[in-house]
Structure formats: structure tokens, C-alpha cells
Amino acid sequence: MKVLVCISQVPDTSTKIVLKNNNTAISSDGVTYVINPYDEWYALIRAIELKESGIATQVHLITVGSANVEPVIRKALALGGDEAVRIDADSNDPYETAGYIAEYAAGAGYDLILCGKESIDYNNGTTGTMLAGLLDIDYIGFATGIQVEGNTAVVTREIEGGEETDVCNLPVVISCQKGVAEARIPNMRGIMAARTRPLKVVMPTKIAPLTQILAYELPPAKAGIKLVSPDNMDELVALLHTEAKVI
């Protein structure tokens, strides 16, 4: 069974975002980039677990981006991927990204395509569904458990108020979230091997995006903290009423 894992690069959550070009772009100066946690901790690790159990024979990784994403895809290789592909395109449009991945994956014989439920930068959560649509295969989202039995995937997924279990024939696209796998860190042997492993770069056919970012806006600055003596409940109640407006 061949597994393809979609990997995206995102800013580390501790990074301070600085806008440029009249708030139409994000400055990359001083930004630390990491693998999207949902892709790394859940989709990729579950794929590796399937390989370690003998169910999957190959785990391939794919990302869309320019050359600056290569350290991220190599870290994914260090965790246990067999082969990595970079689609040489720079896009923040989920349809365009899904289109590039679908163009590569079509006819490549992947039985299972895994991705995170969303990326933590734009939080669209739509690339997986679009990818399945473009490949004309089934999609199951928000998976908390994935088992493969022969040509069938048994997927536990989170729904409002509980869980449900879906059974689907392969091939299928599944988006993953917390619970689907146990996080791990790469070992030194894996890191060293990933440095020399070849990275396939593919030039895609240009796909027109469906969305355009007009501008970014930073959240308002947090208000200062007011300390109230535990002996002065009247002041606390007044502040909660007049300033916090919660009572």
C-alpha cells in the first residue's frame, strides 16, 4: 500500500508577525518556519505507524512551495518518510495547492492520502476536500483513528456531540487531527540520512487560484492588567460590569 502525506510549512506560533507592502504581505525576516503540526504529529506519524506495522509499503511526502520549504520537508523525511517531492510553486490559495498535488498524485497509485485537518496559518481546512474532489475519490475528515483492513479504511472521526465510525474503500483522502497518532521526534540517524536523500522537484502546470488575499490585519493589542485587592470586591464587580462588560 502506497501512502502520500501532504506537508505544509507554517510560521512557528511563537513568531512575531510583521506586515509589509501596505499590509498585503507578511515579512519573512526573522520568521521561524515549521511543519504544520496537524500534518506532522498526526498525518505523517500515522502513515509511519502503518508502515512500521507492515500495512503500508511506502510513505511519500509532498509539499507545495519554493526552495525555502526544503528544510521542512527534510525534517519530515527524518521522521520516517521514504521519498519527498516539492511542487515548485508558491501559493496560499487552497484550490491552487490542491490542484498541484492532484496533478502529481493522479495515476501514481496512491491508496491512501493523508493531510492535517487544517494548517495553523490560514486555518482553511479545505485542501483535503478539494484534493479528493479533483482526484474523484472519497474523503473523510477530522479523523481521530485510522485502521486499514485489506482494501478498506476504517476511520473514527469526531462529530458534534460524539464520534462516528466510517468504512470506505481505498483510495481515499483523510484529514487527521489529535488522537490519530502519538507524536514523536526525529532521531539523529534519521536527521543525517534525510540530509543526503534526494528531493524530487516538480515544475507544475500553472493553475489559476480561486481566492486572493487583499490585506492582513493584526489583532488589537491586549489591554493592560488591573490588579484588584481580594478585600475590595466592590471594585472588582464594578470593573467586571463597566469595563469587561461580563456582568
Domain residue spans in the chain? 2-219
**What pLDDT, in 10s, does the model give residues 210-241?**
998 899 988 887 777 888 888 888 888 888 88
What's the pTM value of the predicted model, to 2 decimals?
0.86
**Cα 89 to Cα 110: distance, rounded to the nearest angstrom:** 22
Task: List the one residue out of 120, 138, 113 whose CA is nearest residue 47.
Answer: 113
CB proximity list for 127: less than 8 A, separation 6 or greater: 6, 94, 97, 98, 101, 115, 119
Task: List the one residue out of 73, 47, 37 whose CA is nearest residue 174.
Answer: 47
Name the DSSP letter for residue 108: S
**Cα 209 to Cα 151: distance, rounded to the nearest angstrom:** 34
Q: 220: cis peptide before it, omega within 30°?
A: no
Are 41 and 21 in contact by the 8 Å Cβ rule? The answer is: no
Q: Which CATH architecture has domain 2-219?
A: 3-Layer(aba) Sandwich (3.40)
**What pLDDT, in 10s, does the model give residues 67-125?**
999 999 988 888 888 999 999 998 889 999 999 999 999 989 999 999 999 999 988 89
**Backbone phi, psi, residue 16, to 5°:** -85, 120
